[in-house]
Amino acid sequence: MDFFVVPTVRFKLLYVWFVIEHDRRHLLHVNVTAHPTSSWTIQQLREAFPGETSTRFLIHDNDAIFSDRVTEAIDRLGMEPKRTAYRSPWQNGTAERWIGTVRRELLDHVIVIDESHLQRLLREYVEYYNGERVHTGLRDSPSGRPIENRPSPRAQVGRLPRVGGLHHRYAWREAA
């Protein structure tokens, strides 16, 4: 889990909190706030892990927001908290890589208006990221997405816009 900051059109800073699985790079939970607190972070953990979880470890950095209260909440959820070393972002590389990806593929192309706008953008992007984006480092498509065979010799590849047209999914369509 980690936080990153997004400025708005009026230079207000919004904080994005997320949890991502290491193995499939699947985002479990994302939320936005203008005022992160340890209580808010604990509530996000409850929403990310509502029941029994098979997650054994939860890696996070040494940000002050990840206080002893947050560490205790992680323990109560049945996971072992793992702090990275100071000034060592590479120790949580999956989270850091996702931050770079969401910046390059979404946030570098839009101007965020306010908190609700950022939440909508992230909701659409996470849906695309988890369900349709090919993770080339994993050399496969997202889990559960079927491989589509060409339905007929006349079929052509058509594009379906995603995330407001910033990204596309390509699928077979019958030629007119």
Domain boundaries in the chain? Answer: 2-144, 146-176
What are the CA-CA distances from residue 101 to residues 34, 79, 80, 129, 132 (Å)?
A: 22, 27, 27, 10, 15
Rounded Cα distance between 67 and 152, Å, is: 58
Rounded Cα distance between 44 and 111, Å, is: 25
**Share above pLDDT 90 across residues of the chain, in percent, rounded to a whole number:** 60
How big is the CA angle at 101 (ends 96 and 103), to the nearest 5 degrees? 95
Give the CATH fold of the 2-144 domain.
Nucleotidyltransferase; domain 5 (3.30.420)
Question: Using one digit for the tens of pLDDT, what is the confidence trace for 22-74?
Answer: 888 899 999 999 999 999 999 999 999 998 888 899 999 988 899 999 999 99
Question: What is the distance between the terminal CA atoms of the chain, rounded to a whole angstrom?
Answer: 47
- State CA 38 to chain mean position distance: 20
The per-residue DSSP string of 90-119 comes to GGGHHHHHHHHHHHHHTGGG----SHHHHH
Question: Using one digit for the tens of pLDDT, what is the confidence trace for 110-142?
Answer: 999 999 999 999 999 999 999 888 766 555 566
